[in-house]
Amino acid sequence: MLLKLILMFTIIPIVELAVLLRISGHIGLLNTLLIVFITGVVGAYLARSEGRGVIRRIKLEMAQGQMPGDELINGLCVIVGGAFLLTPGIFTDIVGFSLVLPFTRTAIKVAIRRKISRMIEEGTFTFYYRK
């Protein structure tokens, strides 16, 4: 797991930098920086508004005595997506928008639910709780 994280935090930024340099060669440095800035601002706004909606729905479900499992997954997707959107790059923006926008998040939530269910069945899902 540690090796995967190390690779992710070294390879992805290098690839993103190469893509941004390639794009700036075609459309210019200023336009490339403008794209990075605009996607960051729009991404932050979307993550904030979607996050507020998720929190509102979690509170509503809890007030009705229901476990907000689906909304907790939505919240996780929005948080991770927001982090990706604030990271400069094209690939991270695509992943970030996929996680933040509700209509693309649906398919990702199904995959997350399947993965968690599989881990619970296999006994590899662990949850640590400290008092």
Residue 51 lies in a domain: yes
Domain assignment of residue 66, given as a range: 2-122
The total of structural domains in the chain comes to 1
Residue 16 lies in a domain: yes
Residue 52 lies in a domain: yes
In the prediction, which pLDDT does 130 show?
A: 67
Residue 30 lies in a domain: yes
In the prediction, which pLDDT does 45 show?
A: 94
In the prediction, which pLDDT does 15 show?
A: 92
- Hey, what are 61's tokens? 């479900």
Residue 131 lies in a domain: no
Q: Hey, what amino acid is at 25?
A: G
In the prediction, which pLDDT does 128 show?
A: 67
> Using CA of residue 51, residue 57, residue 63, residue 69, what is the dihedral sign?
negative
In the prediction, which pLDDT does 68 show?
A: 86
pLDDT tens for the chain, 131 residues long, are: 788 888 888 898 899 999 999 999 999 999 999 999 999 899 999 999 999 999 999 999 999 998 888 899 999 999 999 989 888 888 999 999 999 999 998 889 899 889 888 888 888 777 666 66
Which residues lie closer than 8 Å to 119 by C-beta, 6 or more apart?
125
> Using CA of residue 16, residue 22, residue 27, residue 31, what is the dihedral sign?
positive
pTM above 0.75, yes or no: yes
In the prediction, which pLDDT does 129 show?
A: 65
Q: Are 105 and 73 in contact (CB under 8 A)?
A: no
